[in-house]
Structure 1
Amino acid sequence: MDEQKIYQELRHRFGFAKFRDGQLATIKAIMAGHNTLAVLPTGGGKSLLYQLPGYLMAGTVLIVSPLISLMQDQVDRLHRRGEKGAVMLTGQIYGADRQRLLQNLANYKFIFASPEFLTNKEVVAALQQVQISLLTIDEAHCISQWGPDFRPEYLMLKQLRQFLRYPVTLMLTATATKAVRCDIIKKVGLTDDQVVEVQRSVNRPNIFLAVDQCQNGEEKRAQLLKMINQLGGAGIIYFSSRRLADEMTRWLNTQTKIEVATYHAGMSSADRFRIQQQFMSDQVKLICATSAFGMGIDKENIRFVIHYHIPDSLENYVQEIGRAGRDGKQSVAVILYTPGDEQLPRQLLTVDLPPADLMQAVQRGKVDERTLGPDYRLFSFYLKHHFTPDQVKRAFTRRKKRRLAQLQMMTNYVQSSECRRDFILRYFDEPTITQKRCCDHELADWLAAGILPKQIYASPKLSSFDWHSRLASLLNLVKN
């Protein structure tokens, strides 16, 4: 396609005069009919990569997304821009409303759905009646990161492409090593020579990298409080435990004058939506969260991201710290590390496999699937899709070995004495760079040195109409 026409659409639809790095190359590949894997930094404007081609192509764009909140945010943005042809398919749509929506899918330009929803035969049948010109898999690293031990429906995307007659496929992510990129391509049923890869550096030069070594939990808590009081501005603190995220929110609200809130998957949808909106508007300055918080959060002035617990992989870590400093200004990423912290994520990697004979009995219908234990839905998924117990065991064994290796690499990062930026770049197969004062090994007393000047923001009140109206819209969608 003529590049001039692409720029015309950029100005007409989105009001921009130029593309961010990597956007034009991705769009040109899509418009040339190539399956494309785009690995672009967090905040790199990935939604434009399927929206702009969607307007230039006949038919509909189907976007597979991992979170309802992420889909809702994208649909809201399209609606605010005047696009009425955007819809979100969720499991909360029932009865006549569901039938009516499925019968009219061809009237929509952008259809958002979770991988779980797309395993429904009725939904797939309805999509087969629609001209799907572009299949977009957002946060594509989830294909490699989650299957097989969490949300295995991601493994069915290969079959979905077949059912939809192999539309041009766009895979989007912010971080992926060579091994993960190969895994993504393989699991959607493609080969390397069938995919154009557009990759840009994971490096965010405006984010200072640090690890604070603490002797015990008490010292870690004291250091956290010191950092929050000195850093100022908006920030996110990540925890591995919902309970501790709640506990630290209560404690920080008594110890500081900062508005602190909790966010995790154990909260109601309404509460999570409210907290997210208050954080976006600067009414809440600090979020104590689990990894459930972050995808789709496009807030420019997050100044720091602190990990109270060690992340389980460098991939996840780079994804999460990439939420800081999207405005290009100086920001900070810190891990508070106590020796032995890696034991918690190590324990979380263990999935207890049921005995092979029990899985065989369930597969033959002789025993109820609930006898498979607390994770019975996960195991029954594989058995229903004709995996043998031995295949299930091998898949989980490979997955555990790989995740333990990722955790070990993360542990090596926090214990390393080399430049932290170079460590990350080398892990992602990128050349190292020379950057002064980029991590705590080059500026040990970075907090006292004022690497991030303290900022005092006014706390604008979020009008009740503002978020209540958007919350009402979300609840109405769930109701329908």
Structure 2
Amino acid sequence: MKDLQSALSHYFGYPEFRKGQRETIEAVMEQRNVLAILPTGTGKSLCYQLPTLLLDGLTVVVSPLIALMDDQVQSLKQKGIFSAVTYNSSLDFNEKRALLSSLSQQKFLFISPESLATSAVIEALQRCSISLFVVDEAHCISEWGLDFRPEYEQIPQIVAQLTIKKCLALSATATAAVQQDIEQKLFLNEEVKVIRYSVDRPNITYSVVTCTTKNEKEDFIDSFLDRHTSQQGILYFSSKAEAVRISDWLRHERHQSSAFYHSDLSHQDRRLIQEQFLKGDVRILCATSAFGMGIDKSDIRFVIHFHLPSSLEALVQESGRAGRDGKLAHSIVLYQPADWHIHRHLASESLAEYRDFKARMESAQKDVQSFTDLQKTWYDHYQQGWLSLSRLEKMWEKKLQQRERQTTIMRRWLEMTNCRRLGIHHYFESGMFPAPIKNEHCCDNCQPDIWQTRLPETEKVESHDSTEWQTVLKKLFNVGYSSQNIVK
């Protein structure tokens, strides 16, 4: 076994491993199939980054979002590791061809499941020496939604066509049922080492503040920010328009350093806002769920859900972006019972979209050009033989039932009167781990008004680079990080 501690310090400058990292990396280095379910904030990406730098060959990372892939590549480059590329739909034909021809010179390839399934990619990977195959956010294998991503189910067949020794699957929010689904669908019930840690984040408090109107939500945000005057945080919204409105309100009327972030922004704008938030130039980020995956910022002190999270999984995932330095952080949901109409409206829209698609597919005049983006996705899968109308109907019914079940569980958690931390424990891991030990910073049901507890200060990152000159040279000229100069 390599001296992992020395390698960790050499490549990443970290003094020690976080929970679950070393155990996962050791299993990967032993060339075992691994499913690692680790809590938010534990640095799951290190579980494949470090082995990649210690092994010969290419690591293929299957990731669900372009933004997440870009974040990972950017993060590696900031660490002085430049042999990482992302292959996705934003590249033109010539860029894709050039990238595939350069794979032998790369250490990391980040790719979507859709791109992975193409013949050009499979043929290029067949010519490569692949040291590790990674499925990030592996719960997507079990939980893909109405956008229907059947390519996740194709991953085992693709792996069989490649020279791959073993696979690593990573997740933070897999229930016991989802874990079983991953083992069956990805590993096809082959032997797999499961490394699982509790989802509990003891330094995060959980609060639900009931509001009867939108104005009450704004009043709460106002008072919260008055009490916590320097800390950075994220406000999550179900509506892009509301994210923009509240950001403008905070900036112009409350004189807060605020910005909004959602999927309609250009890649350049998203990157700029993200960098400003990471540096501390933006204090309050008003975002949809498009923001967060892969964000490497340890001192986010609070996450407030302006609208109701879509599920307990979403709550844990998004709240888990706070307090990654281990210090106190707050998770708050502003609960306006009338907000349930948002979820009902989304479900109603999905039903109408599905019925329209089915009717047009059964008619002589399909008019594909006028399909919505989601309908075009369904149509593409239909054309490729991955999706029939009967399968779409069964899938839609199953997803609707899942959504209703998740909404019911979320509502029960919001309205519960006993410990919210225990509620999370029972949902994700009852019978797997002992119940979390209550501490002085638990939830509003255990300690009323816990959100008023003072938070540690957020230190603003200086915009100029104060890194030592040796590190700058490494980052500029890739000294010590090229695939030919990996410490073995």
Match for residue 448 of structure 2? 444
Shift of 1:342: 2.1
Letter in 1 for 2:425: L
Match for residue 258 of structure 2? 260
Letter in 1 for 2:215: E
Contact 1:308–1:335 (8 Å) recurs in 2: yes
Match for residue 471 of structure 2? none
Contact 1:436–1:442 (8 Å) recurs in 2: no
Question: Per the alignment, do residues 223 and 160 of structure 1 end up closer, same or farther by CA in structure 2, a change over 3 Å counting?
Answer: same
Partner SS for 2:321: coil
Match for residue 483 of structure 2? none
Shift of 1:249: 0.7
Match for residue 192 of structure 2? 195
Letter in 2 for 1:417: T
Aligned residues: 458
Shift of 1:196: 1.3
Contact 2:228–2:454 (8 Å) recurs in 1: yes
Q: Distance in 2 between matches of 1:94 and 1:400?
A: 36
Q: Distance in 1 between matches of 2:17 and 2:372?
A: 50
Partner SS for 2:10: helix
Contact 1:39–1:172 (8 Å) recurs in 2: yes
Q: Distance in 2 between matches of 1:189 and 1:268?
A: 37
> Which stretch shifts more, 198-207 or 182-191?
182-191
Partner SS for 2:264: coil
Bigger relative CO (Cα 8 Å, ≥ 6 apart): 2
Q: Does 1:331 align with 2:311?
A: no
Match for residue 427 of structure 1? 427
Partner SS for 1:302: coil
Contact 1:372–1:379 (8 Å) recurs in 2: no
The one of 315, 333, 339 equivalent to 1:341 is 339
Q: Does 1:66 align with 2:57?
A: no
Shift of 1:453: 4.0
Question: What stretches of structure 2 of length at least 5 have no aligned partner?
Answer: 468-475, 477-488
Letter in 2 for 1:434: I
Q: Distance in 2 between matches of 1:77 and 1:373?
A: 34
Contact 1:358–1:372 (8 Å) recurs in 2: no
Contact 2:205–2:450 (8 Å) recurs in 1: no
Q: Does 1:359 align with 2:372?
A: no
Shift of 1:222: 1.4
Letter in 2 for 1:171: A
Shift of 1:12: 3.5
Letter in 2 for 1:391: R
Shift of 1:220: 1.9
What CA deviation, in whole Å up to 9, does each residue of 1:13-45 have, x standing for no partner? 334453222112211222222211111112212
The one of 217, 220, 225 equivalent to 1:223 is 220
Q: Distance in 1 between matches of 2:237 and 2:15?
A: 40
Contact 2:129–2:163 (8 Å) recurs in 1: no
Instruction: Summarize the alignment of residues 74-473 of structure 1 with structure 2, pairs less than 5 Å apart.
Output: 74-191=72-189, 193-232=190-229, 233-350=231-348, 351=350, 352-354=353-355, 358-359=360-361, 367-370=366-369, 375-386=374-385, 387-430=387-430, 431-437=434-440, 438-447=442-451, 450-453=452-455, 455=457, 462=463
What CA deviation, in whole Å up to 9, does each residue of 1:401-443 have, x standing for no partner? 0121011101111111010000001111243233134111122
Q: Distance in 2 between matches of 1:107 and 1:122?
A: 18
Partner SS for 2:205: strand
Shift of 1:59: 1.8
Partner SS for 2:141: helix
Contact 2:301–2:456 (8 Å) recurs in 1: no
Partner SS for 1:210: strand
What stretches of structure 1 move > 6 A for 4+ residues in a row?
A: none
Partner SS for 2:89: coil
Contact 1:38–1:199 (8 Å) recurs in 2: yes
Shift of 1:152: 4.5
What CA deviation, in whole Å up to 9, does each residue of 1:375-408 have, x standing for no partner? 3222213312423311221111111101210111
The one of 16, 34, 43 equivalent to 1:45 is 43
Contact 1:332–1:452 (8 Å) recurs in 2: no
What CA deviation, in whole Å up to 9, does each residue of 1:347-396 have, x standing for no partner? 3235232465753668xxx8454476563222213312423311221111
Match for residue 33 of structure 1? 31
Letter in 2 for 1:389: L
Q: Distance in 1 between matches of 2:337 and 2:211?
A: 8
Q: Distance in 1 between matches of 2:358 and 2:269?
A: 42
Letter in 1 for 2:76: L
Q: Distance in 1 between matches of 2:389 and 2:459?
A: 58
What CA deviation, in whole Å up to 9, does each residue of 1:114-149 have, x standing for no partner? 223223321222112112221111122223332453
Contact 1:161–1:167 (8 Å) recurs in 2: no
Q: Distance in 1 between matches of 2:263 and 2:150?
A: 19
> Which stretch shifts more, 16-25 or 236-245?
16-25
Contact 1:313–1:410 (8 Å) recurs in 2: yes
Q: Distance in 2 between matches of 1:17 and 1:453?
A: 25
Shift of 1:189: 5.0
